Amino acid sequence: MEITRIPLGSWIGSGMTWLTSEYSVVIRGISRVTQTGINSLNDGLMWLPEWALLAIIALLCWKLASTPLAIGAVAGLALIWNLGLWNPMIETLTLVVITTLVAVVIALPVGIAAALSERLYRVIMPVLDFMQTMPAFVCLLPAIPFFGIGSVSAIFATVIFSMPPAIRFTTLGIRQVPVELIEASDAYGATRGQKLFKVQLPLSLPTVMAGINQTLMLALSMVVIAAMIGADGLGSEVWRAIQRLRPGDGFEAGIAVVILAMLLDRLTQSLRKSRRS
């Protein structure tokens, strides 16, 4: 017996077509603002001489983390500079920074609301499960009809892909605050806002920072994959090497991605430790 196929793909396609036509003005506005932000940050980082930006990053690593990390940052970034991948590295860093900021701005309020509302928690958790189990390449598909090919689509897809850990860890951190402390704040007559900003958020900050760290790492991995839809940066260097069958060039770009990932990871981990102490 022939089974009638559910036209799920057609429904999704029709829904996207309707959204792009009905909200084209909003979409164009978001695209212009995002592209302006990308260009401004990218131009600002490109304006600095390579040695100056390298010195600033080394100083930041030394102040926030340790001397070995500062030395490693200098060695790694100097290698990227020597390989001629400095500009692609800056483009990748720009996309990662903007994506992480957008994801965190959205994730923190959602995570706080889910922690304080059991009903919202039960709704948001299956949505996060769906988002985290969705293959990375599938996240690229909805971005193209809305924003076309380019860095704005990469930002859109990367935010969707990297946001769930920040929401989960924010919710987890607030829900793990000891009940005794909540009861003590109630006994002293603290309002709901005072409990949140003076008790729950400060105590959950190390866990929240762990979520931001995971979001940052996922954003970097997705930005590299987003080269398939026209995103600039180290990912485009890897994609170009694959297309031209140049494994050496691809390996060099891959090393640059690893160096950038390790640097960002160690910096955010040092911030987490400092907040905990």
Domain spans of the chain?
A: 21-276
Q: What average pLDDT score do residues 19-47 get?
A: 86
Quote helix, strand, coil % in the chain, to nearest 5.
85, 0, 15
| Per-residue pLDDT reduced to its tens digit, 198-233 | 888 888 888 898 899 999 999 988 888 888 888 888
Query: Phi and psi (nearest 5°) for 193?
Result: -65, -40
pLDDT digits (tens, 9 = 90+) for 157-196: 889 889 999 999 999 999 888 888 888 887 877 778 888 8
Give the span between the Cα atoms of 27 and 114, in whole angstroms: 28
Please tell me the distance from the alpha carbon of residue 109 to that of residue 275, in angstroms, as a whole number. Answer: 20
CA distance 157 to 111: 20
Angstrom distance (rounded) from CA 201 to CA 199 = 6
The pLDDT of residue 2 is 65
In which residue are the tokens 């995971």 written? 214
Inform me whether the pLDDT recorded for 81 exceeds 70. yes
Of 171, 268, 168, 276, the closest CA to residue 220 belongs to 268
The pLDDT of residue 155 is above 60: yes
**Could you tell me if 145 and 88 are in contact, meaning their C-beta atoms sit under 8 angstroms apart?**
no
CB atoms within 10 A of CB 249: 17
Give pLDDT, residue 93: 92
Q: What is the pLDDT of residues 258-268, one digit of tens each?
A: 999 999 888 88
Top CATH class, 21-276? mainly alpha
Percent of the chain past pLDDT 70, that is, above it, reads: 97
